[in-house]
A and B are shown apart, each in its own frame.
Chain A
Amino acid sequence: MTDADGVYREVRSFLLREARLVDDREFEAWLDCMTEDVTYEIPIRTVRDRDVDEPFLEMGHVEDDRYRLEKRLERLRTDYAWSDNPPSRTRHFVSNIEIDAVHDDELDVISYLLLARAAGDDPGTDLLSGKREDVLRRVDGDLKLAERRLLLDQTAIPFSMDVFV
């Protein structure tokens, strides 16, 4: 096994574990996967001419930093986070993982996300799909998520985004 294979396996393990932590509602452990200066964004896709380089708006559906992610988790720990009680059920399918670039202590990682969300007694499932552009950084030997940008395929969101991606 080459070093590159080892790094790839480590990246894949990191992303799959991170997805499982969210789906299992292990939010504190999930937050531990993030660096202190993490940025976490879902920009807004628009329907644009194919010659337009940037179909995403300046504003996002989500524009979080570590502080705001912590506040979201702190809210979930209160007894009054009504949108999360009863909680929706999510399944994060993470695939097509590629290491796009290797820097000193950081890796640019691309992955695909298929997010399935079920809520209430609705037999249907809401689906969102997209490409994630992540930056993983090695901190004290462990990989941490320093940047996440989820580039959704959808232009309209079919539910209140009370879930992490």
Chain B
Amino acid sequence: MGASRTEDAGQAVLDRIRDGLDRGELPADALTDETLFDLEMEHLFEDQWVFLAHESEIPDPGDYVVRSYLEEEFIVIRDESGTVRVLENACCHQGMEVCRTERGNASHLRCTYHGWTYDNTGDLVGVPFREQAYGDDLDRVGRQLSPAPRQASYNGLVFASLNPEVEPLEDYLGDYRFYLDFFTGRSPAGMEFVGPQRRVLDFNWKAVMINAFGDFYHSMVTHRSASEVGAVDTTNAYGGEENRIDPEIGYHINAGPGGTITREGYLFEGAPEAVKAGHRETLSDEQWALVDVAGTPGASGILPNVTINNSIGVPGPEESVPFTYARKLRPLGPRQTEVLTWNVVEADAPEDYKERTREAFVFLFGTSGLYTQDDTVNWQSITRVSGGGMAERRQLKYNMALEADPDPDVVGPGRAYPTVLTEANPRHFLAKYVESLEEATP
């Protein structure tokens, strides 16, 4: 049977991936194999929590954005009572999209095929010729836009899952919430997601995740041009004549479905006083203790489809501007991924600071960013040559500091490795990735 052969072939690749875990190795064809990709989509993306939007993108009743999950689309909409709902973008009658725009405001959504109309809770409230056509029997065709089987939010991040049995989002994020708060839970007014930029690029989604989970080692080479011209503030990162990283500058920390690299000190010193006061008010004593010991979480990823980063840009002469940005990945195939990228800023920050963080972000990351340009070369190049028989035999190495133990004295959950010269976080990504696939495919 074709279907089971495909499943078996995917399992065979997964077996080889599992075999390499303890050595910190990944067979290169894991980035391109079609059968593995099908397993990932079915058992990782469909079964787990997938990030779709941030509540700040739809502040008012009726505001909506349409976001793709895998092949399906969801409308993330705020109803008249202020509740955020995640509804399938398909009419319950004959399946036409009820939203053909990517964002807007609507009290009602009307299918332009036969005119079936829904309110912004998703309830079907209008059917032409209802009495004559269906009498009282509308159950035959449904009564609402299907809500996502599961929906939940954390720090305003809206997640959905196609798996009704999925564990609660808070449990899924688990220990990683402690670190995620440094990006999306650090202001009493909440955070604001600005954007997103949208790109479709030729790379495997895991190449991005592995890099985002934890690779500080590449910065001094991949990003040398951007740092050499002073586009980014590399204090507490790397620098000097050879642009070398200081191994002691931060930690690899992994917990739950996430990984982050900290950078020594408090990265937001350059923010306005009111913004910093909000951080002091919002983050816990234990979280501040992390800043003292290990620094501030920077480059980060959350399995399966979020990357988020705190950084410091230099958008103007002698001007260091701390900023945060987030990405949502949507795999379109093993070799192609849609990427949405937002600037993330404290909702109550002064307008000029919001603008400056946006400019710093756009300059460095996203569509035209100096950092992203060079990262994209890596992700595309690795994906490009990771197909075929040689790739099946070639192992990608994530085995730096394989034997090193975590530092037990660092506050915060998970494991903290007291150096950036390790590949502990990529190994954590691969372990969680395999674990997630195996839970679903015993």
A residues lining the B interface (CB < 8 Å): 42, 44, 46-49, 52, 57-65, 67-68, 71-72, 74-75, 78, 80-84, 155-162
Q: Which of B101, B102, B228 contacts A78, CB < 8 Å? A: B228
Give Cα A156–Cα B100 distance, bound, in whole angstroms.
Answer: 16
Q: Is the CB of B199 within 8 A of A158?
A: yes
Give me 30 A-to-B residue pairs in the complex whose CB atoms sit less than 8 angstroms apart, sorted by A's number: A47-B101, A48-B101, A48-B102, A48-B104, A57-B194, A58-B194, A58-B358, A59-B195, A59-B197, A59-B362, A61-B368, A65-B316, A67-B316, A68-B316, A75-B226, A75-B228, A75-B229, A81-B225, A82-B225, A83-B376, A83-B377, A156-B198, A156-B199, A157-B197, A159-B199, A159-B201, A160-B201, A160-B372, A160-B373, A161-B368
Give Cα A5–Cα B248 distance, bound, in whole angstroms.
Answer: 66
> Which 8 pairs show the lowest CB-CB distances between chains A and B?
A61-B367, A83-B373, A161-B368, A80-B224, A80-B225, A160-B376, A156-B198, A47-B102
* B-side interface size class: 35 or more
Give Cα A64–Cα B196 distance, bound, in whole angstroms.
Answer: 18
Identity of the chain B residue whose Cβ is nearest the Cβ of A45 in the assembled complex: B198
Give Cα A47–Cα B230 distance, bound, in whole angstroms.
Answer: 36
Q: Is the CB of B197 within 8 A of A72?
A: no
What residues of chain B lie closer than 8 Å to A68, measured between beta carbons? 315-316, 359, 363
What residues of chain A lie closer than 8 Å to B196, measured between beta carbons? 44
Inter-chain CB contacts under 8 Å: number: 113
Q: Which of B195, B316, B338 contacts A44, CB < 8 Å? A: B195
Give Cα A160–Cα B367 distance, bound, in whole angstroms.
Answer: 6
What residues of chain B lie closer than 8 Å to A42, measured between beta carbons? 367-368
Give Cα A79–Cα B42 distance, bound, in whole angstroms.
Answer: 44
What residues of chain A lie closer than 8 Å to B373, measured between beta carbons? 83-84, 160-162
- With both chains docked as a complex, state the minimum distance between the C-beta of A44 and any C-beta of chain B, in angstroms: 6
What residues of chain B lie closer than 8 Å to A49, measured between beta carbons? 101, 104
Contact A71 to B377, CB < 8 A, known contacts A44-B195, A44-B197, A158-B199: no
Give Cα A47–Cα B65 distance, bound, in whole angstroms.
Answer: 10
Q: Is the CB of A83 within 8 A of B201?
A: no
What residues of chain B lie closer than 8 Å to A62, measured between beta carbons? 362, 367-368
- With both chains docked as a complex, state the minimum distance between the C-beta of A126 and any C-beta of chain B, in angstroms: 11
Q: Does B38 touch A at the CB level, under 8 Å? A: no
Give Cα A60–Cα B365 distance, bound, in whole angstroms.
Answer: 12
Q: Is the CB of B368 within 8 A of A155?
A: no
Other contacts beyond A47-B101, A156-B338: 16, CB < 8 A:
A47-B100, A48-B103, A48-B104, A49-B101, A58-B358, A59-B195, A61-B366, A68-B316, A75-B370, A80-B224, A81-B374, A83-B373, A158-B201, A161-B367, A161-B373, A162-B373
Q: Does B222 touch A at the CB level, under 8 Å? A: yes
What residues of chain A lie closer than 8 Å to B363, measured between beta carbons? 63-64, 68, 71
What residues of chain B lie closer than 8 Å to A46, measured between beta carbons? 101-103
What residues of chain A lie closer than 8 Å to B200, measured between beta carbons? 156-158
Identity of the chain B residue whose Cβ is nearest the Cβ of A50 in the assembled complex: B101
Give Cα A48–Cα B104 distance, bound, in whole angstroms.
Answer: 7
What residues of chain A lie closer than 8 Å to B368, measured between beta carbons? 42, 61-62, 160-162
Q: Is the CB of B104 within 8 A of A52?
A: yes
What residues of chain A lie closer than 8 Å to B151, measured between beta carbons? none
- With both chains docked as a complex, state the minimum distance between the C-beta of A154 and any C-beta of chain B, in angstroms: 9
Q: Does B317 touch A at the CB level, under 8 Å? A: yes
What residues of chain A lie closer than 8 Å to B224, measured between beta carbons? 78, 80
Q: Which of A61, A157, A160 contacts B362, CB < 8 Å? A: A61
Give Cα A95–Cα B343 distance, bound, in whole angstroms.
Answer: 34
Q: Looking at A58, A63, A64, which has the most chain B CB atoms within 10 Å of its CB?
A: A63
Identity of the chain B residue whose Cβ is nearest the Cβ of A46 in the assembled complex: B102
Give Cα A52–Cα B343 distance, bound, in whole angstroms.
Answer: 23
Q: Does B231 touch A at the CB level, under 8 Å? A: yes
Identity of the chain B residue whose Cβ is nearest the Cβ of A60 in the assembled complex: B362
